[in-house]
Amino acid sequence: MFYTIRHVTRFTYESPITESVMEARMQPLSEGPQRCVRFGLSTTPQARVRMYADPEGNIVHHFNIPGRHTRLTITAEALVECATSAQLPERLDPDAWQLVDCQTASGEFWELLHDSPFARQTSFLATFAQDVGLERGDDPLATLRQMMSTIYARFEYSANSTRVDSPIDEALEARRGVCQDFAHIMIALVRRLGVPCRYVSGYLFQQSDREVRSTDGATHAWVEALLPGLGWVGFDPTNDMVAGDRHIRVAIGRDYADVPPTRGTFKGLSAVKSELAVAVAIGTAQPAPSGDVPAFVPWMSQEAMGARTHEEGGQQQ
């Protein structure tokens, strides 16, 4: 399946700012069954955009706008091909937990087994783990499937109920949140069982014939766990589904702190209030008979608005 993606982020400022330095992680990955066929990123005001790959293989675009400006718009457009992954087995072999312990014994996955900024072992998490009877089940795959379904059943999806920097305790106490919260909670629980687990940012193409809880026209988040014989397997606790060819992967990290879509700093002459608007459009496309890539045609879009207050030398993301 081919997908077209248009991701627009717009910052507006109450008074002019200067020295806006930004980085963006918006380019879909090219690995496994997914291939980024085409990608472009532009800014208004115009800036020379450079790129590099971070240690996890995520593509980072960065730029600097030194002049005074009251608005910044970042537009990313991509064409992505997602092939269908091999179907997962119902269960793994009885010795799978032993293999999990063997693959983590070297310390290679230390960072994906311990606390990270947003996926932490807290007293609220310990209480929730006890409440649901968290333990190693018959095999890792079945255990993580059950965990995903439990989070889906125990938590209400409530847009705008948390912030991008909310700790997991807010969602755990209220029993509601958004995809980012569910991903962080599941990561912390999976790591609690000794299984390497990481955060995935990206997009979910929503089909009209299947109801999902994720917000249309927005970015999405889920998790990947390293399972013996299978490699990295994606779990989407927001929608109680194993990640498949409708999940478009953009970046991977320990948690959201590693992979925000945009992150940057700026200088202002006085206290500045900014408004952030994000619009995401995802569509399907078919390759031309000649093999040429299809033109970009948006399928759906929606804007989500939020506001933040920045001081001089503030940060934005």
Beta strands in the chain (DSSP E): 2-24, 34-44, 50-53, 59-65, 69-82, 156-157, 176-177, 197-204, 220-227, 231-236, 241-242, 247-253, 262-268, 272-285, 301-310, 315-316
Mean local confidence (pLDDT), 310-314: 34
Cβ-proximal residues to 96 (8 Å cutoff; 6+ apart), any chain:
139, 140, 141, 227, 228, 229
Return the higher-pLDDT residue of 306 and 133. 133
Give me the CATH topology for the region 96-243: C8orf32 fold (3.10.620)
pLDDT of residue 208: 64
pLDDT tens figures, 192-210: 999 999 999 999 998 765 6
Domain 2-82+260-316 CATH (choose: 2.60.40.10, 2.60.40.2250, 1.10.443.10, 1.10.150.120): 2.60.40.2250
Write down the pTM of the prediction. 0.88
Q: pLDDT confidence of 273, banded at 50, 70, 90? A: low
| Average of per-residue pLDDT values in the chain | 87
DSSP alpha helix (H) spans, the chain: 96-104, 123-131, 140-154, 168-174, 179-192
Q: At CA 68, angle to CA 62 and CA 69, rounded to 5?
A: 75
pLDDT of residue 167: 95
Q: Find the distance separating the first CA and the last CA of the chain, reported in whole Å.
A: 31
Q: Which of 54, 69, 82 is nearest to 260 (CA)?
A: 54
Q: pLDDT confidence of 312, banded at 50, 70, 90? A: very low
pLDDT tens figures, 68-119: 998 899 999 999 999 988 899 999 998 999 999 999 999 999 999 999 999 9
296: pLDDT strictly greater than 70? no
> In the chain, which segments carry CATH 2.60.40.2250?
2-82+260-316
Q: pLDDT confidence of 47, banded at 50, 70, 90? A: very high
190: pLDDT strictly greater than 50? yes
* Residue corresponding to tokens 């293989």: 57
Residue 84 burial (C-beta neighbours within 10 Å; 0-12, 13-18, 19+): exposed
> In the chain, which segments carry CATH 3.10.620.30?
96-243
